[in-house]
Structure 1
Amino acid sequence: MPELREVRRAGLVRLGGRALPALESAAEAVTPTGARSPGAAVEALLRLAVARLDAGTLRTAADYTLGLAQGTRDWPAASRRARAASVYGVSVERFRKDHEVMVLGQVAEHIMRLVSQESGAPSAAEDEWIVGTHRTVQVLAGGRQVRFTVHVHPVDLLRNVDVVVSPVNVHLALPEPYKSSVAASLRRAASVRGVTGDVADDPLHDGLRKWAARHGTAGRAVLPGTVVATDSGALTGQGVRRIYHAAIAVPRAGTNDYDVLPADVTRSVSRVLALLAEECDRHTPPLRSVCFPLLGSGRGGLPYQVSLAAVWAAVEAELAGGTPWDVHFVMRAPEAAALVERLPAGK
């Protein structure tokens, strides 16, 4: 735990030359380093441990706290702590005294489990993702060689992708911004804030409400597979120009759970690509790139491989037809990324 606090203070770019004997020993046991430096080995160990945390606020806060999230490795410790506090919607001081202790404790626990478990080392495919956050993959679709990009980091860190797909329930009701889902992360990142930090504009929520009013669906559910396009708000500063909300989650009466059918995922992805074709030339420059999460694999409960198969069925059909789209996938778990990367092998 003291060494994790030292990593938090220093940041990943300043690990070289620091005395971290316990973490270096654990890294040597879990992730054979070869020619890697001790700092790189410790980073690989941290990425593996954090990837095993529950997907959601805990893992997101750990990524920001330790500088593992894309683009944050050189952030000052105070900036990383403030971003992690925002994940839980608490003050920086409260996060420091309470949540941060819990987050680092959970990371330490998973490091100990990795060391103690004989099978704790990652598979070869997952190990490649520990030290990288994006990769280009070549695959055959309809006899054509096509390319897509896989990102392994929080969705709100995407840069220069024209359209990002966000799952939503059939009532088009977004989760609160402090939640940890893809939809909540995008809503939070798209919000426009005033000088005091208060939300001045909530464009994703407002855009969905306006669409429902315009199409006469306010107060009732839309059909699963419906896709609604909204502006991207503050995300335009990151090169994200549109958010496509895919209605795939059907609330289960009397519970907080959802049902997601793979067929609805495939239908929504087909509609996303059709909508992209309709909208592309209305923008300058034209829309060309689109990014998909593994739809339904969060609270929808679909296993990664089921979600991927449902998404890929529509994407492959589109790419096989010769369309020019630049396709991306984004996910948090290295094991999910490893599945996507196996697509060229037909596995």
Structure 2
Amino acid sequence: MDFSLSAEQQERRARMRTAGQEFSSGSTDVVFRGDIWKKLAGLGLLGAAVPEEYGGAGFGALDTALLYEGASEGGADTGLLFSAAAHLFACVRPVLEFALPKTRKELLPALCSGELTAGNAMTEPEAGSDISRLATRATKVDGGYLLDGTKSFVSNGPVADLYVTYATTDPDGGYFGSTAFAVDRDSAGLVAGEPLEKSGLTACQAGEVRFTRCFVPDDRVLGSPGQGQLVFQTSMQWERSCLFAIYLGQQERLIRRCVQHVRERRQFGKRLADLQPVADRLADMKLRLESGRLLLYRACAAIDDGEDPSLWVAMAKLAVSEAAVATSLDAGRIFGGRAFLTEYGIEEHVRNAAPATTFSGTSDIQRQLIAREMGL
């Protein structure tokens, strides 16, 4: 069993660490900027996991995760990377895997180049992780479907050109009761709301999207009618693994800052680094990071090897998201009162880490998935 990365992988991640410095939180803001989006595309972050024939880099899950980890470790804004990851894993991957050939040729090159931005329209006010209870309805009509309903917390929603949307097509169909669609922003009956005011991940705009008798042609169905659950679960395997590599990079960066701080800061006549409780806390931070990293890489390897990755993906998502929150809070304890000053950036790490245990399926959902894989 080889735990090492190839020289090519190490070099690629190192390049991304350097590139990530250009996208720090000080250089981005809550206003969507097309020039920054195009730069992310140039680094491969918008099409890493898409074959070269469609304009992507042709990477598998592990190599894609390494790109996001490297950019995050280098200092790229967490919200900006989240925006790119939501675009790629929750939207581009479903188009790649489930759209008709002519639809793939039409959409994928523009999605990979940054010409188009995609938003994931699944969550509803009364349906978070439960795709089987969507209030949004898709009614079959001649040549397509009419969508009616409201989606909430749509990542990239206010600025997206394309929405991967899920709607109920058969209320009594159970697992086969929903269908996935790729919906253009300029479709009649689609209205994208204003950006929500968030405390974290602010560089990723999110908002409401409303559908009122919005016509979607048959060639924009992803998969077959009734395969919405399959499309969503497949995209979540990529999102719950590769996206959370962002939080590996964030933890790496944060731990490095804490180590530097405790070496320089003195209390009680000693360096903070010489105080055992401080050293113990940093050891726990490192343990959480490396444990989560192993699980995330294992999940990506399962995807790349064509195995069923369900167990590894759920464990990786749970471990990395909980570690991100715990480590950001521990950094706050290490920095003390300075953690509350915006100039040190610790409070920003806390705000960006906190949502990680909620989006892409809550920690409780991941525990249920793990228990199910255990046969409980």
TM range (shorter): under 0.3
TM-score between both structures, scaled by the size of structure 2: 0.26
- Taking structure 1 as the reference length, the TM-score comes to 0.28
Greater per-residue helix proportion: 2
